[in-house]
Structure 1
Amino acid sequence: RIADYELCVEGFRMCVGCLNFIDESTELVTAKDVYYTQERPDDVSVDRHLLRMCDKFKIPGADKHIKDITVIDILTGNTDRNLSNIGFIRNTDTLEFTGPAPVFDCGNAYGRTNMEKSVDTLNDPQKELLKEYGKRVDIEAIFKDKSLENMIMDYPCLNTDEKKKLIKNMEERNKMVLSAIK
């Protein structure tokens, strides 16, 4: 699940906002809060430890959600995902987790960092995860959708060269991701 975002202009900056996905009977608990409830053994990866803690707290759908976030970040080149911008929703009355929060904070996607470097750092498990998703989802069709490109072209606070550069970065990213999973 991805939060339903709206394009906003704040001053001279483009940003996105979403409706509050927390209500009076729920709270957002970050993966960081879950992760640090128990010390991670040296021989356990960060990802594996987080999943163990999610199992400990019986967070429904956590494993799939974390894989989905990883795929979204790989596809968009988002390089700043951390334990503070992955979240889970908990009932404030029962303190039971009800599931993952929608994916939020993808602010470093497309063109904010060196796209070449971020693709070069795809490891084999990430490539395998992309290949697995590629069996269920037509990644190439997603990349052919021009909605994001149209939104960039309509944005008033970027000049034409900046718009073209951002779109070029996005297209290059898409090509590199597709070549990594073939």
Structure 2
Amino acid sequence: MHIHPELHERHTLSVTVDNEAGILARIAGMFSARGYNIESLTVADVTEDESVSRITIVTSGAPANIEQIIAQLDRLVPVHKVNDLTALGPHVERELALVKVAGAGDHRIEALRLADVYRARVVDATTGSFVFEVTGSSEKLDTFIGLMREVGLVEVARTGVVAIARGREAV
């Protein structure tokens, strides 16, 4: 009998919470205690009075594990709503990275050429290095960073994924 490994799916979760001390630690602790990995995590206020925040979490797991994560997040007291943007369908995801590249001559020229192709902006430059700002899907950033490794990648800082559902309605 051949046993198939559980399918692991990448899911983007949008969690709206009361903006109170300790909620992020409680959510991270819930993931950690159950052995779930957080691949990306971003948090920002979403109301004018700063009383509500949106936490965007990217995680992977078997469908049953994702359902369990959502149910456990939903039970936390300051959580208003948990949406699995992946399951809901069309949504927009973006990430920002700052990518420092050092080099001279042909490597410098190639870095600028690739940045143009990937619509990366130069946000800092010295005679020996550039810092590029690039936004897009995580896959686009991964590819750009991989190419920069070949021409003098020095350092990378990434924001993590932010996401929102498409359409006219708030979710």
TM-score (norm 2): 0.30
- Greater RCO (CA < 8 Å, at least 6 residues apart): 2
Bigger fraction of residues in strand: 2
Radius of gyration: which is bigger? 2
Bigger fraction of residues in helix: 1
TM-score (norm 1): 0.29
